[in-house]
Structure 1
């Protein structure tokens, strides 16, 4: 069993106690993309778990980020709506995902 086999809606809702994503179907919409992203880092030796199920926890939280954003990985620097203008920066989904990886995993310099 690989760490990626435990990335399920049951783990997300029961073990992590999270409820932002309402169903397994919606969880699975973003599962494959996030598992493959982290699997590539893991296989290349770029991440190592800090704690038991750290990779699984990080991926579940990454899936939650995708769900909240509707999968839209864009960066908003400014926008104008009618006569109202706003400028600023918004973290991309990738930056938010790396934050979760750093909480649950060590980011290494390369193949060990």
Structure 2
């Protein structure tokens, strides 16, 4: 009985999981093909708010990047030192850093 319930649940969830995976892949493809995200940016900042960090890249790459000041992450302090990295790579690294589940700031 339990096995049939698990199988039914798996069959019900599988299309949703495949749909989600396809959506993530489509978004990734769009982002990878966006020429604006290939522009090189540089940073040499210590204890700069995320909001200021995004403003810096927005000015360098001429791409609108911002965070709502009401968002708790907007005041998160960032330390970063790198030269001429593609904006897309920087944004992916930032997302990875801020989405780390065991981070102190969560």
Q: TM-score under structure 2 normalisation?
A: 0.25
Q: TM-score, normalised by structure 1?
A: 0.24
Larger radius of gyration: 2
